[in-house]
Structure 1
Amino acid sequence: MTVEQNIVTDTIFDLFENQASGPKYRALASALRDGITHGQLSAGTRLPPVRELGWRLGMTPGTVARAYTILTDEGVLVAEVGRGTFVRGEVEKAAPLLIESGPREVTESGDRMVSLFTGRIPDLGQVALVREALARISARPAPGLMDYPTSRAFAPARQVALEWLSDVPLGQVHHEDLVLSHGAQNGISLVMQAVLRGRRPVVLVEELCYPGFRRAAELLRAEPVPVPMDEQGIRPDALRELARKHEAQLLCTSPALHNPTTIVTPPERRREIAEVARNCGLHILEDDSTFLGQARCETYRAMLPEQGWFVSSISKTLTPGLRVGFAIAPRARRGDLRRAAEYGFFGLALPLADLVADLLARQETKQIVRAVRERNALYVRSTVNFLGGHELRWSEEAPFVWLRLPPGWRAAAFCMAAEAQGVQVRAAEEFALRDAFAPHAVRIGMNGHVPLPEFEQAILRLRRLLDDPPEQILV
């Protein structure tokens, strides 16, 4: 932060300290308004980013963003895409966007549709790294190119993969417990094939969940059943009741970072869920493929050595193009997992496994992953800066945010209105089972393929829709 920004932050802190008690966002808005009125914050002053000011004032970034939103709506502040929030000077207020029927061409920051349908990571050196690794692999002696791959041939790649996951508390693990899969989705299917038995087995999933759980279950003619959640994730009491009622065999969950809501299941709740699974003979498949941070607590595989399975991938941290993931079985069930892969597709192509071993062992790869995480966090912070005044769930370790829509909006209508303005987002209905209730909410992906100014322009369009829903929606 510059000296000027420090002075502005300290000025705002002093103004805020002099406010009467009440909701923090209103007190902050009042402090900023007073500072502008009395000249302590002059026209053109750039206000601190919401995260930095929130830290200084001891409040959440969303609270700061809500105060900024109030004053922006009043015309006291102006948000400039790609630059920040300023005390209004000689800047014309942006005209409201109008909802049109059907898609239109976008002209504000280019003429392409901005897809925030899913998280997409930018190229921060991965392409060059993969090309260099391919060149190294192609130069090696490769007698295995004329044979079917064997389990022994994959051992070096499995060992490197375990080292790649070394910060994840997986319990006692050996490289033979791990199978290389074609992405996390394939890993989920392999685990289900290894676990599920009978004509119509039941798979429990979170009431809002990654759609791949449902699709994998349906492909195997299993019945997915939703489990109610609260602010800490799956409710243990509901899990116990449904596991017994349906004689469920497997629970699929994303406790490190729930997709789509970004809920993190704390250790105590995890232990309660693990105890239910232990008593009910329920296996747990944990998928952390969308989590971009460092592990916070033990995985279910560590808590349940005989019933815990783990799936991850490199799609959200390195590249989705290689389609490489990891599935890890309980020690006693690794043969079942290996057979599911061998009987299904004989395992990864050996050159691809060698490429994975080469890439994941390199220090440059780890540096790129850190850069990817930092870039994602930048996009998340920008999103919070614009949308934090609304009911937003977010984490800098997530490639998406979860937005509950204000009264008047329905998810389907909002998605159509957003697409008419050149922005694609994903409705909550896509994360619910077909006949289940879905909240009026949307998931917004962090698209790192889009330059930050263009991304911010897209988020600003969403903000305008949220702040000023058209009359025809309010029925």
Structure 2
Amino acid sequence: MIVPDTIWQPDEKQNGRSKYETLARTIRARIASGDLSEGYKLPPVRDLAYQIGVTPGTVARAYRVLIEEGHLTAGVGRGTFVAAQKPVPVRSLPTTTSFFDPVLERDGQAHLLSPKMPDVGQGAIMREVLHDLADAVAPDMLLRYPTRDTDLPARQAFAARLDAEQIGAFTLDDIVTSHGGQSAILMILQSVLQGPAPVIAVDELSYGGFRSAAVLCRAEVVGIPWDDAGPVVSALEAAIRDYDIQVFCTSAEVSNPTAIQTTAARRVEIAAVAKRYNVHVIDDDCYRLMNTKRVGPSYRALLPDLGWYLTSPSKSITAALRIGFAVAPEGWTAALMRTATFSSFGVTRIVTDLYAGMMQHGQIDAVINHTKSRINADVSAAARILDGHKLRYADSVPFMWLELPRGWRAGEFCQAAESSGVLIKSAEDFSLRDGRAVHAIRIAVNGLIPHDSFVEAIERLTVLLENPTERLAL
């Protein structure tokens, strides 16, 4: 049988992979793209080996791998054919298990404390990529410390999805890997803060990881209030003058927990203040799912020599993939790399190659889009059920902010919700110890429980909202 050689010629470098695995990946990609449709008969082993210049054993092994994966099927005397391809399954973990897992619904409780990504094929992709890595990576490479060379594929995969207009001009050298987004925050603070008693500013209601990192750096924390457009500029400037603040930690795209997005105009004002006082700005973008339109430029784009951008795949793919990325401003890459090296010697190649392989997988965009769809389905249902209450949410953001009606305090409401089988977070979890009292809660989307269970949990919260403690006490 004569076939176009271009169908079989690998369209990428081997990057350390064996020839059979490179061929298998090429055929797998052609099947995914539709170039090789169901029922297509592949060339005999010896014919294909001759056409592409490899040994018959290489082709036979590639065929065998694809048959085991279910991409191909073969019959004695019939040949090898493209099999019917199974779609990526949409699965939710069971609501009851033989082990305790606090992210699952258990004994009637719905855990809505922290966002969890639904299983829409990530696990299958991870297993496939790990299988590929086991064959592709030379054994001696698994015995070495990580370097800037070993994490290069991960930085390249990450850079391929960055928008230079949104985060500012960058090179691969500006990107430093970390053990997740929280690790990136700590590394940046360790690189920037100076003196025996440094002070940082954070959003008045903000991600607790900023405060935790400050504690590890022996830094004091000052809260900056927000309005509907973002951080209040005058409050930030006053705090900088009064407390000699060195760093402002914020989340321009999605404030956690309020889901407010800083407007493009407000970002320009904040950047002007930071530049005037030489204050670094850390822009945490971990909650904005990939392929989602941004509101405006990041602080790194607005502050080329003071703005830091960081993110991780925890809130878009899986929290189990412990890798984060920090994009340093001009002149700060060496300091950040030094911190990364001193703290952990870098992220192991097993993790960086796993990330690179997953981000280059043909179905990863489908997984991301399906994740967004599931999150939006849960959020839309909650918005419908909680209609009439002060609920704030944003597209593809896996949490909502609910202001409580008169008669409810945040702590009391969370206790009542737990008694009703729903675990949520109080505004106190996001406030400074001396901050003002806010009677609100954050409801996280937990994709590891079924949609129907999530809806039922929201309905339980609605009953509580309509029966505050003052009325219940009568």
- Shorter-chain TM band: 0.7 to 0.9
- Greater Cα offset, 355-364 or 243-252: 355-364
1:5 aligned partner = none
2:59 aligned partner = none
Which of 88, 111, 114 matches 1:115?
Answer: 111
- Aligned-residue offset at 1:141: 3.4
User: Does the Cα contact within 8 Å between 2:408 and 2:469 map onto a contact in 1?
Assistant: no
- Greater Cα offset, 242-251 or 292-301: 292-301
- Aligned-residue offset at 1:167: 7.1
The alpha-carbon distance between structure 1 residues 304 and 270, as it changes in their structure 2 partners (threshold 3 A), is same
Is 1:161 matched up with 2:158? yes
1:337 aligned partner = 336
C-alpha distance in 1, partners of 2:258/2:299?
A: 20
- Greater Cα offset, 361-370 or 421-430: 361-370
C-alpha distance in 2, partners of 1:110/1:341?
A: 39
1:151 aligned partner = 148
How many positions carry a matched residue from both structures? 367
C-alpha distance in 1, partners of 2:179/2:467?
A: 44
The alpha-carbon distance between structure 1 residues 392 and 127, as it changes in their structure 2 partners (threshold 3 A), is same
2:313 aligned partner = 314
C-alpha distance in 2, partners of 1:184/1:363?
A: 25
Per-residue CA deviation, residues 340-397 of structure 1 (Å, 9 max, x unaligned), is 1111000001121111111112231121111101110000000001112111111122
- Aligned-residue offset at 1:110: 7.5
Aligned residue identity for 1:318: I
1:11 aligned partner = none
Is 1:127 matched up with 2:127? no
1:282 aligned partner = 279
Unaligned 5+ segments in structure 2 are 1-104
Is 1:192 matched up with 2:189? yes
After superposition, residues 195-344 of structure 1 pair within 5 angstroms as 195-292=192-289, 293-344=292-343
C-alpha distance in 2, partners of 1:127/1:226?
A: 39
TM-score by length of structure 2 reads 0.75
TM-score by length of structure 1 reads 0.75
- Greater Cα offset, 130-139 or 361-370: 361-370
Cα root mean square deviation, aligned: 1.5
- Aligned-residue offset at 1:197: 0.8
Aligned residue identity for 2:117: I
1:389 aligned partner = 388
C-alpha distance in 2, partners of 1:358/1:110?
A: 34
Percent identity of paired positions between Structure 1 and Structure 2: 40
The alpha-carbon distance between structure 1 residues 167 and 402, as it changes in their structure 2 partners (threshold 3 A), is farther
Equivalent position SS for 2:309:
strand
Which of 160, 166, 169 matches 1:172?
Answer: 169
Compare relative contact order (CA 8 Å, sep 6+) and give the higher one, 1 or 2: 1
- Aligned-residue offset at 1:461: 0.4
User: Does the Cα contact within 8 Å between 1:209 and 1:259 map onto a contact in 2?
Assistant: yes
C-alpha distance in 2, partners of 1:211/1:469?
A: 28
- Aligned-residue offset at 1:449: 1.0
- Aligned-residue offset at 1:296: 2.3
C-alpha distance in 1, partners of 2:312/2:162?
A: 10
C-alpha distance in 2, partners of 1:311/1:319?
A: 17
1:415 aligned partner = 414
C-alpha distance in 1, partners of 2:371/2:260?
A: 21
User: Does the Cα contact within 8 Å between 2:206 and 2:430 map onto a contact in 1?
Assistant: yes
